[in-house]
Structure 1
C-alpha cells in the first residue's frame, strides 16, 4: 500500500481528495491534518510515500512546513491561488492541483506520481524547494525554526541581527539565539532591505537596532547595536548602510 497524508485546512478539500483516492485501491490515507503543525507530526509518525499539501494554511503554511522537515516525502501541492507558487513548484513537486480539484485532473496527478514511484525517482530536497520559493517571495514577515522538539515562529520585528554559521544562520533575538538551515544570501533576498542590511559577509543587522558605528581598521568598521552586540562592518557594508539610513 502507498501511505498517503492529506494536509489542508479546508475540510471539504480533504474530503474531496480522500474520496478521489478511494478510486485508487493501492493508496491508503493514514492521516488527515488541518494545519502544518499536525502535518509535521503525522509525517514524522507515518513516514508517508505521498503527501497532498496545501500552501495557504493558518499557524504554519506549506512553505514553512517544508523548511522544518529533515526528510521530505513525495509531494503533490494543492492551492486555491498564489500563481507564483504554482510556477515555483512545477519543477520540484510531483504535481500541483488547483482548487477546485476535478477528478480527471486528480487522476492525472496520481498517474504522474505512480510512474515516479515505480521508478523510485528521488524528489527534490527541502532546500531545493525553498530555494525555488525565494526567487519569488520577498519581505519575509516571520521565520520558522526548529528548537529541539518544538517549532518556534519568530516575527522579523524580534530579530536583532543574523550571523552566518557554516551551513546555518544564527538568528539573534531578545529571547535568545536560534539556528536556521538557510543561507545569508537567502535572507538577504527575502528580508525588507529598508529594515535589514547585510553589513558584512557574515552579518546582517536590523537597521533600527543600530546604536553607533566607529572606524576599526583598513576601511572596516565596528557597529554597536542597542543590545550591546558588536558587529563587524565591511567597506561595502558601510556603503550600503550609509545609503539606507542617509549617513
Structure 2
C-alpha cells in the first residue's frame, strides 16, 4: 500500500492564448501526506486548485502546466518517472474516478468493453485470457451494484448514477492501491449521491484502499474521509481531522464554506 507525500508542490499554467496575462499559479507550496490506507479530502471553491493538485499525482495535467516540488508515491518521485514506469503506475497502482462520467467514458463503446480495455492494457497473470477478463468485468459490475447486463450498454443508456458506478468499476479493474476521486458525486441528485458515496466508502474500507476525495462539499468529505485539507487560491488554509474541520473550523474561510450549505429544516436556510 503506497504512502503519498506532496512536498512543497507548486503548479503554474503558461498562458498560451492571452500572453498578456502572464503565467497563472494554480497551486502554491502545498505539502500534504496521505499514509498507507488513509483517506484525505481536499475541499475548496471552484478555482481553488484542488483538482489541479490531485491530477499532478499521476501527471495528468496538460503540457502548459509546470510542476515544482516533489510528489512521492511509495518513495518514488512521480515527476521524475519515465513514461514506461508512469504508464505502469496508472491504473495498476493508482486510478482516478473523474467528475463527469458522460465526458470521461467513450460514447461509442459499450461499458464492458471499456472496463475490459484497462485489463488488456495492464495485463496481469489472472486476466491474460479473454474469458478471465470478461469474468473480471462481471465481478466488478457486481461489486458496484450494477447488473451484468449493463456490460453491453452504451454510456448514454445508463443513468447518471449508473455511469458513475461504471467509472468506479473501471478504476478498480486493475486492483489499484489508491483511488483519486475528483468530485465523483457533484453532478448527481442527493439520493443517488448518497448511494454512490456509500458504495465508494464501503469499497475503500473493504479493500483497504488509500483515497483522495476532491469536493467543494465539507459534509461529503466528512462522511468519506478521515482528514480534510481546505484550499483557496492554490494554498492550503487548514488541514486536520474531518470532524474538527467540518464542525469547529479554525480558519474563517472554512467556516464560511461550511455555512454556505443549507441545513434541511432550518428556516434561516
Q: Is TM (by shorter chain) over 0.5?
A: no
Structure-1-length-normalised TM-score? 0.29
**Structure with bigger gyration radius:** 1
Higher helix share: 2
Normalized per residue, the structure richer in strand is 1
The higher-RCO structure (CA 8 Å, 6+ apart) is 2
